Amino acid sequence: MITTGGDPASACIGCTGDQLSFDITFAFQPIVDVAQSKIESYEALVRGPGGESAYEILSKVDERSRYRFDQTCRTTAISLAARLGMTTKLNLNFMPNAVYRPELCIRSTVTAARSANFPVERIVFEFLETERIADPHHVRNILAEYRRLGFATAIDDFGAGYAGLGLLADFQPDLIKIDMKLVRDVDHNRVQQAIVGAIVIMCRQLGVRVVAEGVESFGEYHWLRERGVELFQGYLFARPGFESLPAVDFKRFQKAPAQEPEPTPATAPRREAGRRAPQPHRARPRYPTDADGG
């Protein structure tokens, strides 16, 4: 059971103050376990109430509002997930630089979960490795405190940011999400294959589960699956659902097709990170069944 202790009226300075001057909501994208043919979790991706992108929302966040923004994102995502009847885990991105004292900042999250009757044991906190960290020791303390309280933890976009192996050496999370830049075309790139293969082996030895994110093609999927990866996220499985929980057709992934369909030009944007703007990318073919994936 998760308890935060202390005086409920007390809170860190960053968690108090005025409300946000703009509204937010969320889209949800599934993280699937293909070995068990089930949706393991949904990642909450921030949006505007009219479907505005993460980039548009983040452009409104400044130094003064980042702490309140981080807290509002957590509580809003939890409340919406509960209203939608989510029964899986819920992955929440958090901004390490927006947490003063983890044992105090976590209180609003726990309160929101209890108010919505959403089990706190199903919440997974994703640390954005691509955010420049002012104090790496502080990040380790945050992750350790969240784990002590019973939450699962994950390093998002592993291999693309500022923490990388240094953080992993000091703290082993429950999950590592391999950055989509390493996943993209991994079935054709020997350098990426060497890097991703090493990450998978390393995580297996450390007891850390691996999520391949941004998977868009069956080629990428089959190469990763053959290396033992079981958890996937990307448009190949489902696009983010605006204020909804997308389903996944697992029949498509039960066995490798004898011949994959001919590719068609890509028209959909690639996967967005939970709090960041979409990264620039080059167009590439997708299979007809992938028209909504990335």
Residue 6 in any domain: the answer is no
What pLDDT, on a 0 to 100 scale, did the predictor assign at position 213? Answer: 95
Provide the percentage of residues in the chain whose pLDDT is more than 70.
73
The CATH number that applies at residue 55 is 3.20.20.450
Residue 214 in any domain: the answer is yes
Residue 192 in any domain: the answer is yes
Residue 5 in any domain: the answer is no
What pLDDT, on a 0 to 100 scale, did the predictor assign at position 162? Answer: 56
Contact, 54 vs 47, CB < 8 A? Answer: yes
Question: Mean pLDDT lowest for which of 37-51, 55-69, 174-188, 206-220?
Answer: 55-69
Residue 270 in any domain: the answer is yes
Residue 246 in any domain: the answer is yes
The number of distinct structural domains making up the chain is 1
Residue 2 in any domain: the answer is no
Residue 294 binned pLDDT confidence (cut-offs 50, 70, 90): low
Q: Which domain holds residue 134?
A: 20-290
Question: Mean pLDDT lowest for which of 9-13, 78-82, 174-178?
Answer: 9-13
Residue 240 in any domain: the answer is yes
Q: What mean pLDDT comes out for the span 226-243?
A: 97
